[in-house]
Amino acid sequence: MNQRQDLAGRRVVLGLSGGIACYKSAELLRLLVKAGATVQVVMTAGAQRFITPETMQALSGQPVLLDTWDAREPNVMPHINLTRGADAVLVAPASADFIARLAQGRAEDLLSLTCLARPWGVGEQPCPLVLAPAMNREMWAHPATRRNVAQVQADGALVLGVEAGAQACGEVGDGRMLEPPAIVEELVAALSPRPLAGRRLLITAGPTFEAIDPVRGITNLSSGKMGFAIARAAREAGAEVTLVAGPVHLDTPRGVRRIDVRSALQMLEAVMPLADEHDVFVATAAVADWRPASLSAHKIKKDGKKIAPTFELSENPDILAAVSARSRERGAPYCVGFAAESEQLERHAREKLLRKRVPLIIGNLGPATFGRDDNSLLLVDAQGATPLPVDGQATDKLTLARLLMADLADRLASRPLSPVSGTPE
């Protein structure tokens, strides 16, 4: 199976302004190239104080541009040539001074001149400008910086957030540049089609854990990877996403609101008040069907006994069925269920479709995919069953999630937005 490439075929101009965060830019460049992008690096004089052009050239495979008057350009206009046909200009790090220059429309170096000369919507396909700020915490909080950030945003730039933590100066606070994987994720989202813009998706993911005593419990092998991939793909497609996650060790996708729960009852308590506020409910979580009827206050001890303890089980609530019933009353949310089976996938998925009274069930063979990074799905609705991907071959879960979101957008095309949702962009 070929490695997924999020930015395959994309042309990205990567700009570096001066700052210690330039050390992260080498890893960022490596990840961009690994994701399939062709990257042209432009560096300011300040950036060259922190990292060499030779390093960036070796990683990009392209000559690094430094000078407005670069004679290698036949027309001596690198600021024009760089962005014609480029998919995005990404400046990382974007210093406080560089953001101020953009806000004022100044263009005294090649990078700021390139940003100013990029197509931004007048007669040509726009070239998005994405800024990853990096600066001292006081500089980030300063009113002048806040005004400049607001101005470049008003002018059409996408300004990514910053992280909090220890800074090179020894202080601690907001202002650190995002880590390279997060910047790549944000860039992919910025360049993605947005067929779910204006929609709100509520997604459950991962297993639940039903406690027997303070140290033991009933759970399953669900890793949560498929649900988290769906949350990321939905956000990329323009949706506002809330993710209710069981006990998993996965990073929250950028731009996604996450609510952590442990048990099926906690998941129900989190989901039901939110269901009415969302257009779509995607029940990816592998919710335990049963829980102990009572919880032992202390660890159950063996004490040398050969007889295993017994305990009574109670049935857990059916979260998907409960949301589906709510949906039939008010017409939303559109409910999507998952069926993790071990055999006769289409048959059991269709039985679940009818039993839960939902429009779509997504089936997969659980034992073959739990914990793995790839999967294949079967979409079962009233009209029939469709494999995803169409060739039925397993592919990585993020690619699957993107295919699923495209399919979902088509299914929702004729449905009105939830009353609390906005107008699609």
Which pair of structure tokens corresponds to residue 18?
A: 């001066």
Tell me yes or no: is domain 11-191 CATH 3.30.720.110. Answer: no
Rounded CA-CA distance 148/99 in Å is: 6
Q: What is the pLDDT of residue 123?
A: 60
| Cis peptide bond prior to 78, omega within 30° of 0 | no
Residues 275, 152: Cα–Cα separation, whole Å: 36
311 is in an annotated binding site: no
Rounded distance, CA 73 to CA 118, Å?
Answer: 17
356 is in an annotated binding site: yes
225 annotated ligand-binding residue: no
To the question of whether residue 14 is assigned a binding role by annotation, the answer is: no
**Can you give the pLDDT at residue 311?**
83
Does residue 7 contact residue 191 with C-beta atoms inside 8 Å? yes
Catalytic-labelled residue, pool 115, 127, 169, 335? 169
Does the annotation count 115 as an active-site position? no
**Which strand (E) or helix (H) includes residue 381?**
strand 377-381
CATH of 200-295+306-412, one of 3.90.170.10, 3.40.50.10300, 3.20.20.140, 3.40.50.300: 3.40.50.10300
Per-residue pLDDT tens listing for the chain (425 residues): 345 678 999 999 999 999 999 999 999 999 999 999 999 999 999 999 999 999 999 999 999 999 998 878 888 888 888 999 999 999 999 999 999 999 999 999 999 999 999 998 766 689 999 999 999 999 999 999 999 999 999 999 999 999 999 999 999 999 999 999 999 999 999 999 999 999 999 999 999 999 999 999 999 989 999 999 999 999 999 999 999 999 999 999 999 999 999 999 999 999 999 999 999 999 999 999 999 998 888 888 887 777 787 889 999 999 999 999 988 888 789 999 999 888 888 999 999 999 999 999 999 876 667 778 888 899 999 999 999 998 878 899 999 999 999 999 999 987 766 655 543 33
User: How would you classify the pairing of strands 257-260 and 240-245?
Assistant: parallel
318 known ligand binder: yes
The residue ranges of every structural domain in the chain are: 11-191, 200-295+306-412
Closest CA to 362 of 379, 342, 384, 340: 379
Topology alike, domains 11-191 and 200-295+306-412:
yes
- Cα separation, 145 vs 151, in Å, equals 10
